[in-house]
Amino acid sequence: MDTYKIQIIETIVVLAGYVITHFLTKIFVNNKLKQTHLERGRRKMIIKAAHLLSFLTALILFSAIWGLKQNEIAVFVGTILTALGIAFFAQWSLLSNITSSLLLFFNHPLKIGDTIKVLDRDYPFEGEVSDLTYFFVHVKTESGEIITIPNSVLLQKSVSVIEKKIPST
């Protein structure tokens, strides 16, 4: 068989493996996390992280199948890790919001459905956390206004959790 046909077959196998892994991860992780009584929002973030990991794995396998050399893949991975390292320290970077979302997810008592008060000297406000994304936290005030706060800014502000939402399964 030609190497071109072998590459196509390998690509189809990796693509099928990715699709199967995508759906099985969603089902398996969701069922396991329901048993631990984690909130729906946190389960969604873990599933998104697992899907991102499987996508990156498939991307690396595709690049290996189609002829990228190991040193080229290593340069790519090194570049990604460098960008993430910069994101941990650069406040102006969009990547800092992604890393901040991970910190908020794992280390902050803030959860979807909680009523919070942001203790800002210039613009204090209070509301219910309606969504936590990779870049922003969405807070809905009593007047129905939705305020979006960048994750990196939220880590710098003092936040008090007024009312905790009871975890649902």
User: How many other C-beta atoms can be found within 10 angstroms of the C-beta atom of residue 98?
Assistant: 16
Over residues 39-45, mean pLDDT:
73
Is pLDDT at 160 greater than 90 in this prediction? Answer: no
- At 5 the pLDDT is 87
pLDDT of residue 31: 79
The whole-model pTM stands at: 0.49
CA dihedral 61, 105, 134, 161 (to 10 degrees): 170
Mean pLDDT of 106-114: 79
Burial state string for 126-144 with b = 16 or more CB within 10 A and e = fewer than 16:
ebbbeebebbbbbbeeeee
